[in-house]
Structure 1
């Protein structure tokens, strides 16, 4: 992956995944460096009507604190936020987190596109957006919004994904800055700026 470099001023990372996403994120999130300056937001499609153990599962392998989002939580740097089941996750001015029970988007709530669009509006070119393995087309419109706002767009190489449909749909809808294997996305994450504090 030599020669691939991130913009220097990334303040937020948004990640969307569906089928195969738990295993992909269990590999990917440990690559986030301790002391990361950016905040990280994750939407993973989950069955409705059940509690989520994602914060606990990912917290065991991640160097950063991992939290399930509560409505109106302030956004802290160096923290991984996971959307709860059956709620859209949005970013609002402050910045702070917001949860919504609006209608599903692309049959999904939480929707990757809803998160990506709100993050693009808030962070613009300071945003890194990542689409991982999954079925369906959720996230494709959101990634296009990130690109229009000047953010950096990363898509998992469809051939590398457990379920290639979602990355392929994103690439049909918009061009990505990087189309990478999971291993190369991990290398990209290791380049993210750390806090000077």
Structure 2
């Protein structure tokens, strides 16, 4: 259980922060950049939810919770020491990736195949979901960069890869099942 009585601690005033295992790193480290961008993704999902309802809102709520799980996973280095940890660290699981895949497949079944690239926009919800997509792609790039230097849970990377696809397909659903997608017209303004 988390208890936050005091919000500021002053421990980061010198430009360092604590990771989930208690070690301290620079706030600009690759690991902090990765989970910080996951947090930013979560904030964009909160904005999208202002325009969502029903099943879409419920799915976005699950994604927000997953993103907290993902942040917890990424802020805890040294996966090889998980078995020796005082408590079992929270790690992303293959089931979370599979859930996204199943939801993508279900949403995509209602859509006509794309014959053009689409521009981010259309309805307010679709525009917000495109923002979620681009921020989650940045989180993925930063996490892949981190994984090239340090140990990262493979399911964390897979989740981020599927998540941006989920946001793309969901944006088409939010655009009247793709009927109101804004199509790219190559060279239209030459």
What TM-score do you get using the length of structure 1 for normalisation? 0.26
Greater share of strand residues, 1 or 2? 1
Larger radius of gyration: 2
What TM-score do you get using the length of structure 2 for normalisation? 0.26
